[in-house]
Amino acid sequence: MPTVVQLPAGKAMTVRTAADAFLDSLGNPNTVRNYGIGVGKTAERLGEGRPLAAVADDDVGGALELLWGEASVNTWNARRAAVLSWLGWCAERGYDGPQVPAWAKRMPPPESETPARSKMAIDRLIARREVHLREKTLWRMLYETCARSEEILEVNIEELDLAGRRAPVKAKGAQPRTRRRGAVREDFVLETVYWDAGTARLLPRLIKGRTRGPVFTTHRRPGPGKVLSARDVCPDTGLARLSYGQARALLDEHTALAGPGTGWDLHEYRHSGLTHLGENGASLPMLMAKSRHKKPENVRRYFKPSPEALSDLTSLLAPGDARR
């Protein structure tokens, strides 16, 4: 006999109700256990008491990135698939709600890792006339700090040390933990990221006339129904903080060659920056300090030297007279 799931009357339900109903509909205990991780943690991140219909696609993508953006490819794909099934199940039953956005795409197999873009390609992209100052500054800052995208997007103007070319960020720490049903505690530590001349030239132009609020904001004010914390709105302009989903979509818009979702990923700036530092002689301890990884094996997977760098390295083995 198929499992009968009692759904609430009407076409509106909360995030938690939708998650519980979906998981209750699954017959296989193993599927329930595996899907429960992805669906349960995503529901917590989105806000269990929120109406499902009030959740935006980018909210779902942002939750996936925050929870598993740094996880292995297989873990990311599994959690994404669980959430995709959950939201598809709700849509099939006529419940208004979000979808997994196109930019939160399934990752390729592990053997095809995040690429490291050449410094020339990064410089050319940032120099393009049609790229807005906001994107230029964000991409340069991501490259020079080698920080995670969420960390940089969370920075506020009052936290910037422009003279010292540094800022504190909420670094990736423990995952949110549930103290009791519906109550979530955020765990994080403050760490410092550093940038160089490129970011130092662009930042003052971007924040000119503003002294508080998010460094990176949208170009339009949020709609009347959107609830934001005071920290996420510029008090001078009323503009909201740029979200991870919006930033990722903007990068994709400027780099996609084979349709939406095929462009660069924000995380590639971190990979590229660490790779270029390594190619220029930075030691493993210094790369770990820059990336703030605690284990050498974690930072090693970010270092992807180019064929040209390997060729230059190999030339060091040539006879003395051949190197003259």
Output the pLDDT for position 183. 39
Output the pLDDT for position 215. 97
- State the DSSP string of 102-148: TTSPPPPPTTSPPP---HHHHHHHHH-TTS-HHHHHHHHHHHHH---
Output the pLDDT for position 164. 95
318 has a pLDDT exceeding 90? no
Q: Are strands 189-194 and 183-185 parallel, antiparallel or unpaired?
A: unpaired
Cβ neighbours around 298 below 10 Å, total: 12
Cβ neighbours around 70 below 10 Å, total: 14
pLDDT single digits (tens) 243-284: 988 999 999 999 988 888 889 999 999 999 999 999 888 888
8 has a pLDDT exceeding 60? no
Specify the CATH class of 15-92 in words: mainly alpha
208 has a pLDDT exceeding 90? yes
Output the pLDDT for position 199. 96
C-alpha distances (whole Å) from 25 to each of 14, 32, 86, 107, 124 are: 17, 9, 10, 27, 51
176 has a pLDDT exceeding 50? no
172 has a pLDDT exceeding 50? yes
Of 16-30, 102-116, 196-210, the poorest mean pLDDT is in 102-116
- 201-206 contacts at long range (C-beta below 8 A, 24 or more positions apart): 202/133, 202/136, 202/137, 202/140, 202/141, 203/137, 203/141, 203/160, 203/162, 204/162, 205/133, 205/137, 206/133, 206/134, 206/137
Residues contacting residue 171 through CB under 8 Å, at least 6 positions apart: 151, 188, 189, 190, 191, 292
pTM: 0.63
Domains of the chain, by residue range, sit at: 15-92, 119-269
Output the pLDDT for position 308. 80
pLDDT single digits (tens) 85-108: 999 999 999 888 999 998 898 887
186 has a pLDDT exceeding 50? no
pLDDT category, 111, cuts 50, 70, 90?
very low
Query: Is it true that 15-92 and 119-269 share their CATH fold?
Result: no
Average pLDDT taken over every residue of the chain: 85
Output the pLDDT for position 120. 94
Cβ neighbours around 11 below 10 Å, total: 13
Bigger pLDDT: 3 vs 96: 96
CA proximity to 80, closest of 35, 142, 146: 35
pLDDT category, 180, cuts 50, 70, 90?
very low
- What angle, rounded to 10 degrees, do the helices at 133-145 and 119-127 form? 160
* Average confidence (pLDDT) over 30-48: 90
* Average confidence (pLDDT) over 230-235: 90
Output the pLDDT for position 127. 95
Distance CA 295, CA 197 (A): 29
Bigger pLDDT: 249 vs 224: 249
CA proximity to 16, closest of 49, 64, 53, 58: 49
Cβ neighbours around 223 below 10 Å, total: 7
- CATH of range 119-269; options 1.10.443.10, 3.40.50.2300, 1.10.30.50, 1.20.58.760: 1.10.443.10
Residues paired with 39 in a beta bridge: none
Report the length, in residues, of the chain: 324
C-alpha distances (whole Å) from 110 to each of 262, 282, 301 are: 17, 26, 11
241 has a pLDDT exceeding 70? yes
